[in-house]
Structure 1
Amino acid sequence: MTQRVVVVKCGGAAGIDEARVCRDVAALVAAGDRVVLVHGGSAAIGDLAGRLGVPLRELVSPGEVTARHTDPATMEIVLLALLGKVKGEILAELGRVGVRAVGLSGLDAGLIRARRKKALRAVIDGRTVVVRDDHSGRIASLDGGLLTTLLDAGLVPVISPPAVAEDGRPVNVNADRVAARAAAELRADVLIMLTAAPGVLADPADEGSLLTDFRLPGEGGTPGHVKGGMAAKLIAAGEALAAGVELVVIADGRAERPALSALAGAGTRVHPPVDLPADRPAPAAPRRRTVPPTQELSPRNR
């Protein structure tokens, strides 16, 4: 029997229970799946920055996609939070539920390589400006062979930013796009992106307006009502689908069984544009599903 490859992206927003995600990873592994867990850490980054007195900024692109402004001080916070706190907590929890896991960042053995962004365009006070002090990059490669070696050994890779740039120094990259690239390199069957929302919402202010199916626009980009962190997730979903990943789900990381619920039908199934690729069956028309109210929606669904 062929083993299913499942990539799970655990968002780092407040309210997402990493222990529940780890419990679901254990269940998937016990069922015979090969699992890669990708994590962010926005809440931990914000908490540590506040304790150390480091101000954080977000940049909003002209397309209204939100990204962290990673200046030198923020880069240090990202390294400390992701590698020194979040990853260790996830690995400890996976060990507690009986999962043998290995923690890697993009810096380990050059797992994730990126091209450093020389400048970013951002909208500040209504004007589009160029930001040049940002330590972020675009993913150039991800070593799927290394992940396959770990999976073949019966291990669960737990991976995260940062990546390594051309000069050998760390750069921040979007964790959703790391998950999409990992899924593409592994030819994964499923990519699950867990966030602090029920899925893609028709009305971002109404958690009851869940879209159970979402067709990506054919012209690229994201619809005007989808902004911020969710827009970044849809971009990543599109990259995974274009690479041949069969199923991409954006689902609620605050649920009792977040990954298992996503596989059972919760959240939003994201579909490729009608013209890419042409041989994929068209899903039913987008449906809205009423969901029970949960805690207040986080401003950063990562």
Structure 2
Amino acid sequence: MKERFVMKCGGSTLAALPAGFFEELKSLQESGVRPVIVHGGGPAISDTLAKLGIETGFVNGLRVTTEGVLDVVEMVLAGTINKEIVRKIQGSGARALGLSGIDGKLIQARPVANSSEIGFVGEVTGVNAEVIEGIMAMDYIPVLAPVGIDDAGQRYNINADTAAGAVASHLGVERMIVVTDVPGIMRRIDGELQVLPVVTVEEIEAMIESGEIYGGMIPKVRAAVQCITGRVREVVIVSGSEPGVLTKAVREGGVGTRIVQG
């Protein structure tokens, strides 16, 4: 089986990535590596909601999602951002196919436990890995927007980190790469912020408890932890602006923070 990995990237992070990042993606694809991309788009969703005068809020880092908000979420994620990423990948000469989790029931979901508080936010119950495998077998890079669906046809807004972790686990890939605008998980050592090269699941929980990991990094590392308890061996958090970052993360190591079981 060819080497595969799942890459999660925020929409705003992807928009700021240099052309070299997409050229590297092409080189990896040509060398036989098969990437799968799951993307977010929170800032773009917030901007569009503001322009339309639709109010929204957050509970524990998850967007309160009414039916009206859900329309915008799907429009921005599955439309604007998904196609922008596909265009950038194809601009580098690589081949990409953009889908949302609704297409072919790629991401099956149910309401999160506190849905009465935050609306149509979903947790993943299944992933149609067969469709993703088929896209990769045709030598296309699947680019997936994290909108899920249930058997009744209801759509759900799904946290992109959570969706990427579920896709990685269901595909059984060894490695998930989380591309961000930071070089990894940072800790203050001897008065200086330094990247931690390796962190265990147990250490992650302790760092969340102590407040060393906070804000938007919490869902990233929690998704990593969920992913590792599935079939994934490690999750690597890296900065997309670092030259050659994907090749280093996939083949060489020594970049970002590796999160491992223990």
TM-score range, shorter chain: 0.7 to 0.9
Tell me the SS of whatever aligns to 2:187: coil
Match of 2:230 in 1: 243
Secondary structure in structure 1 of the residue aligned to 2:36: strand
Corresponding pairs, count: 255
* Higher mean displacement: 172-181 or 221-230: 221-230
Q: Is residue 2:12 matched to residue 1:17?
A: no
Residue matched to 2:46: 46
Q: 1:15 to 1:39 in 2, by over 3 A?
A: closer
Residue 269 of structure 1 corresponds to: 258
Structure 2 counterpart of 1:229: 216
- 1:192 is aligned, of 169, 177, 188, to 177
Tell me the CA shift for residue 217 of structure 1: 1.5
Tell me the residue number matched to 2:200: 215
Distance 1:136 1:193, change over 3 A: same
Matched residue of 2:153: which SS? coil
Alpha-carbon distance in structure 1 between the residues aligned to 2:136 and 2:14: 29
Write out per-residue CA displacement over residues 135-176 of structure 1, whole angstroms, 9 at most, x where no aligned residue.
101100001111111111211111121100343121011111
Residues 20/142 of structure 1: CA separation in 2 closer, same or farther (3 Å cut): farther
Q: Which runs of 5+ in 1 are unaligned?
A: 61-65, 121-130, 275-302
Aligned to 2:154: 169
Q: Helix, strand or coil: the match of 1:270?
A: strand
- Of 86, 99, 109, the match for 1:114: 109
Which TM-score applies when normalising by structure 2?
0.87
SS at match of 1:103: strand
Q: CA deviation at 1:218?
A: 7.8
Superposition pairs for residues 126-145 of structure 1, below 5 Å?
A: 131-145=116-130
Give the superposed CA RMSD: 2.4
Residue 20 of structure 1: CA displacement? 4.8
| TM-score (ref. length: structure 1) | 0.76
AA in 2 matched with 1:9:
K
Instruction: Pick one of 161, 179, 195 that aligns with 2:164.
Output: 179
Counterparts of 1:165 and 1:207, CA distance in 2:
47
The 3-state SS of whatever aligns with 1:209 is strand
Q: Aligned equivalents of 1:14 and 1:150: distance in 2?
A: 24
Aligned to 2:36: 36
Query: What amino acid is the match of 1:250?
Result: I
C-alpha spacing 1:21/1:75, structure 2 compared with 1 (3 Å):
farther
Classify 1:200/1:220 alpha carbon distance in 2 versus 1 (closer, same or farther; 3 Å): closer
Percent identity over paired residues? 28
In 2, the alpha carbon distance for the partners of 1:155 and 1:132 equals: 39
Provide structure 2 residue ranges, at least 5 long, that are not aligned to the other structure. Answer: none
- Structure 2 Cα separation of the partners of residues 10 and 175 of structure 1: 8
Once the 2 structures are TM-superposed, how far is the Cα of residue 93 of structure 1 from its aligned partner? 1.2
